[in-house]
Amino acid sequence: MKITHILGAAALSFSALLSGTAFAADINGAGASFPAPVYQAWAAAYKEKTGTGLNYQSIGSGGGQNQIVNRTVDFGASDAPMKDDKLESANLLQFPTVIGSVVAIFNLDGVDSLVLDGPVLAEIYQGKITKWNDPKIAALNKGAKLPETAIVPVYRSDSSGTSFVFTSYLASANGDWKSAVGAATSVQWPVGAGAKGNEGVAGTVKNTKGAIGYVEFIYAAANKLTAADLVNKAGKVVKPETKAFMEAAAAADWKGAKNFAASMIDTAGPGAWPITSATYILLPKNPTNATQSAEAIKFFNWAYTAEGDAVAEKLHYIPLPDSVVTDIKKAWATEVKADGKAVWTN
């Protein structure tokens, strides 16, 4: 860079200081790997449009919750909605960004399609079903030639919102799982091998014969891995595809959900995908840096536009209903304040 350019930049900065103008630094966020692809795609488009960048660390939902509680980032991200009492004690606003889906990916020679259901998946992860030609799997796949290959369950080793969504589904489908293991961002897995992040699970399944794992749909698509069809609450076999995710999202009770935490697990509807969930942002209601907080809100406000929706849909995420976005913007304007003043106006 030429010295004249450096001096020009310095003069501009000095002039800005004299005039009292404040320039926001890049936005910093951390958390769930589930939405990382869309946040990174949004960041690139937003940087080109506005000049403001987003640095997002895909460290898992547990890490994102911890970092925003400790105020080491501008926002945290979590697939598992934070508990109401923790939101209150940490003085955080929670709101969803997009809707995604969790799928069961597998690596099985000679098998290109597979049907599973919640009870069978739970028994696989409990170690009760250990071979791919088990009668319970065979009953769901009549006529298929299933090999006598050992099943290698792969799970998230880190604290993960994707695990919360997946184990919530297992708990809703299987009473033994609910009582013995439960649903959480981190559980005591009875069997299997751990891997870090959606990326780690996808990679482990891809490289392990007989493996099965759970990831956000985009990771299955990006790694060219096969995802099983599932039997939903209506008893119908559904494929992991956009129309099935949208049907599940349409059945969610957004108005009745506190802190926007609407459940989409095993919702009613003949074509609904049973493992669907929103992913969430955690933002301080009392930011110490009002400028940075405002910049974060501006970023997500842009993400909800038609331009942002198009980026999300290209990556197989489902945009939020317009009515939900309207309610989120009201919450930004009324609940996020610095020194008693709103940092963003609707």
Mean pLDDT of 299-322: 94
* Residue type for position 25: A
CA distances to 134, 152, 198, 232, 290 from 117, rounded to whole Å, are: 14, 17, 21, 7, 47
Q: What is the pTM of this model?
A: 0.80
Collapsing DSSP to helix, strand or coil, 150 comes out as: strand
Kind plus residue range of the DSSP H or E element containing 27: strand 27-31
Per the CATH hierarchy, to which homologous superfamily does domain 102-276 belong?
Periplasmic binding protein-like II (3.40.190.10)
CA nearest to 78, candidates 66, 65, 92, 88: 65
| Domain boundaries along the sequence of the chain | 3-100+277-342, 102-276
Please provide the DSSP assignment of 235-270 as one string. S-EE-SSHHHHHHHHHT--STT-GGG----BT-SST
Is residue 235 over pLDDT 60? yes
CB 261, CB 272: distance < 8 Å? no
Q: Domain 3-100+277-342: which CATH class?
A: alpha beta
Using one digit for the tens of pLDDT, what is the confidence trace for 151-177?
A: 999 999 988 888 999 999 999 999 999
pLDDT at res. 198: 87
Which has more confidence, 12 or 207?
Answer: 207
Question: Per-residue pLDDT tens for 127-151?
Answer: 999 999 999 999 999 999 999 999 9
The reply to whether 3-100+277-342 and 102-276 are identical in fold is yes
Q: Outline where the chain has alpha helix (H).
A: 3-19, 36-50, 61-69, 84-90, 118-126, 135-140, 161-173, 175-180, 197-206, 217-222, 242-250, 290-303, 306-314, 322-335
> Strands 92-106 and 211-216: what pairing?
antiparallel
The length of the chain in residues reads 346
* pLDDT digits 0-9 by tens, 269-283: 899 999 999 999 999
> What pLDDT score was predicted for residue 161?
84
User: Tell me: the pLDDT tens digits for 76-118?
Assistant: 999 889 999 999 999 999 999 999 999 999 999 999 999 999 9
Asked whether residue 2 carries a pLDDT value surpassing 80, the answer given is: no
**How far, in Å, CA of 254 to CA of 272, rounded?**
17
